[in-house]
Amino acid sequence: MSLGYPEAALADVDYALKDAREIGHAATLFMALFFGSWIHLFCGNYAAGHALVDEGLALAEEKGALTWKAVGPNFRGALFATTGKASDAVLTLTSGITSTRSMGTTLHLPRTLAHLATAHAELGQFDDAWRCIEEAITAAERTKETWFEAEVNRVAGEIALKSPEPDAAKAEAYFERALAIACAQQAKSWELRAAMSMTRLWRDQGKRDEACNLLVSVYGWFTEGFDTIDLKEAKALLDELHA
């Protein structure tokens, strides 16, 4: 998904779920359900994502799978944070992070903290939002789980712009770091998100040519997934800049 092939990622989810159901192996099905929900989330298929999380949590309860009972709610909380249900996200993610840590695991902690930061910011709780961002960055450095590092920095930039005293310079620095990390990892989906954030900032600063050139260079790389939410938003933003 992060490499920039969302349609292929969705197809892989379908194959994984089919195979897991056919072999009847609970551990394999847990992976397919929860990580499949994550792919649907980032493609904008929120109902499908929720359905997979619900199934996964029900299976965890049935099987008494303590790890997935602890980690699973973080996938639901991410969906809440992404779909504007900030209060539900804070409650779910805070509880999920506590449960995850009690199990002695740091699985996907940077991603979960970034979603929690987004929810706190949506509620105007900026001290909590920045605390989560700092924890996410520290967790990525400590655990070497860096696959979501670009997104953590992009979210930090968005929070800098939403703060009571917006800091455009701080936001731009975070967006630049997000772009650099995504480029180094060849994570084209994260690069597109970072480019859209930077493009909106430059547009609002009157730098329309720079904004357009940046987004064209990233958007033009993609060859599929044009019905997914990020690529639709990128196309709409380019159309606005070209108008």
The helix/strand/coil state of 3 is coil
pLDDT averages per 10-residue partition of the chain, 243 residues = 87 95 93 95 95 96 90 93 96 92 82 97 97 95 92 98 96 98 96 98 96 96 95 96 86
Nearest to 204 by CA among 172, 180, 164: 172
3-state secondary structure 62-76: HHCCHHHHHHHHHHH
Q: How far apart are CA 133 and CA 109, in angstroms?
A: 11
The pLDDT value recorded for residue 146 is 92
**In the chain, what are the domain boundaries?**
1-64
Using an 8 Å Cβ cutoff, are 57 and 16 in contact? no
Q: What is the pLDDT of residue 102?
A: 83
Model pLDDT, residue 1: 64
Assigned token pair, 35: 């990580």
How much is the pLDDT for 76?
Answer: 95
Rounded CA separation 225/4 (Å): 8
